Amino acid sequence: MKNVVRLAIVDPNDATRGSLKNLLLGIDSVWLEAECSRYEFFADVIQQTQPDIALISLDSDSAQGLQLVARISQELSSCCILVISSSQEGSLILQAIRNGAREFLSFPLKIEDFLAALDRIQQAQGGREGDGEIRSNHVITVAGAGGGVGCTSLAINLACVMAQHERRNVAIMDLDLALGDADVWLDIIPDYTIQDVAENITRLDYSLLKRSLTRHDCGAFLLPRPVQLDDMSTITPDELRRVIALLKATFTHLVIDLSKSFGPIDIAAMEASDTILLVTQLDLPCLRNIVRLTQFFDLHEGLSEKLKVVVNRQGLEDNQISMSKALETIGREIFWQVPNDYPSMVESRNNGLPLLSHAPRAKLTKSIEQLANSIDHSEVELSESEDRKQKKGLFSFLSSGSRG
């Protein structure tokens, strides 16, 4: 069960333990190894099952729970301890940490808080081993420097290419809530949309989310935009973050096709992403917009360093601006150049087939394949660099082109 965390929980309260269990069972990256209703038996359960994480609820008896934290910390140091409580008293939090707890979580537990705690533990323990495997939970947002530059075509084909790798599980989210057409590119008639997910956000778990996705033959899953225009304004940034957190729980790669509005929803998606591909063509309006967008990203902490500029339709005869002039104008390097092959792309769209099926040998298809590998290679290089500075830790198993 690669990339799965083995977890055991103890909570004498049947109702709250059931709530925790249901949440954890909805996360494919977590395997519930054992559950226990008695503090006094939990240490033996831990010794027998040897989980990666022990989740201890303190609400039934905080003193007994804290003693259990200290005992497990001393007797099984390889097991990371998380505690959870509806109380947020500073003295309780401090004592739990002193006794050996790695994280203090609030009840009722939110899935995004739990996943964030796992991420912090992984980073503190040294992350992955740097063995060249694909990095888990990589979110890629595809944005455009103007209308019609090819964002959706790149997002769809990038995701379909990534899904061909046996170790990649890929989802696509169409975040152009008004005029998105990712379903058209894949010739899919979905049963559910992102609106259905938002309307059920209060009871959303992985099982419900998975039923809302439509799988394409290439292996990628699609979460499309709402059917009705009236529905697009009901999704909030917080709801979107929760959807992304659930998708990250099971998919190694999430590709998000943004709208052109760069509104709160788009900003929330970019904040949750690891890579932002800003797609442009070599014309004056697009290059001017790149400068404007770069300034915009600089005002939002953490966005600018994720930005990678992708020139689409390179070689298009109507383009009058040279690459050197473009570099001088935007003041930053070009991450990738996608060659122009308008006939293949139009036929691919009209037939509802990704390029890897419609034109697998085309130069355009090969370029997108190399772009996908380059994105992953960049992440592997970054992770390996971090690993050289840190020790190998418990959660090392969690994480798994040419440039222009």
| Each residue's pLDDT tens digit, 38-90 | 999 999 999 988 888 999 999 999 999 999 999 999 998 889 999 999 999 99
pTM here is: 0.68
List, for residues 230-288, the tens digit of each pLDDT value: 766 678 898 888 888 778 767 889 999 999 999 999 999 999 999 999 999 999 999 99
- Cα separation of 277 and 148, whole Å? 15
Same domain, 331 and 222: yes
- 30-41 burial, b if ≥16 CB within 10 A, otherwise e? bebbbbbeebee
Same domain, 248 and 306: yes
- Cα separation of 310 and 273, whole Å? 17
How many domains does the chain fold into?
Answer: 2
Q: Which of 109, 129, 156 is the last residue of a domain?
A: 109
Same domain, 191 and 251: yes
- Cα separation of 344 and 325, whole Å? 28
Same domain, 105 and 142: no
Same domain, 175 and 96: no
Same domain, 168 and 315: yes
For the chain, count helices (H), then strands (E): 16, 13
